[in-house]
């Protein structure tokens, strides 16, 4: 399975974006995700990081999802986001990436000499 296929499975709402946009964020995610550290979860971790970034882009970085709309005199209300000190906690995809990172960080340190592991 490729990261693009995994992204489509975990976040199908992004399938409507241009392929070039999805591939760009996948490339950025892969550059920030160590295949050596994540091992068999590398593809899933990269897809979650890409989905996290795409979600934040869709929110213009900080805004929440639309909570209500009004047509007369145009009024839009956005959900208030919990702005965590760790921005990865602002999406479920970022939370999953962090969960995998913590899991593999422990396994990685126990099983490998980090100096000998090349990305």
Each residue's pLDDT tens digit, 70-117: 677 776 665 555 555 667 777 889 889 999 988 887 655 555 555 556
Structure-token pair, residue 15: 């399938």
Q: Is this structure's pTM higher than 0.95? A: no
Identify whether the C-beta of residue 44 lies closer than 8 Å to the C-beta of residue 6: yes
CB 97 within 8 A of CB 11: no
Q: Look at the block and give the residue holding tokens 């593809």.
A: 43
Instruction: Tell me the C-alpha distance between 80 and 67, whole Å.
Output: 9
Q: Report the pLDDT value the prediction gives residue 119, as an integer from 0 to 100.
A: 44
- Mean pLDDT for the stretch of residues 22-31: 95
């Amino acid at each position: 399975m490729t990261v693009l296929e995994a992204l489509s499975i975990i976040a199908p709402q992004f399938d409507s974006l241009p392929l070039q946009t999805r591939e760009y964020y996948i490339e950025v995610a892969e550059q920030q995700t160590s295949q050596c550290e994540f091992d068999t979860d590398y593809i899933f971790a990269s897809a979650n990081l890409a989905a996290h970034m795409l979600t934040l882009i869709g929110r213009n970085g900080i805004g929440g999802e639309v909570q209500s709309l009004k047509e007369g005199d145009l009024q839009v209300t956005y959900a208030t986001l919990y702005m965590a000190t760790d921005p990865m906690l602002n999406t479920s995809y970022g939370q999953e990436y962090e969960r995998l990172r913590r899991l593999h960080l422990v396994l990685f340190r126990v099983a490998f000499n980090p100096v000998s592991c090349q990305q």
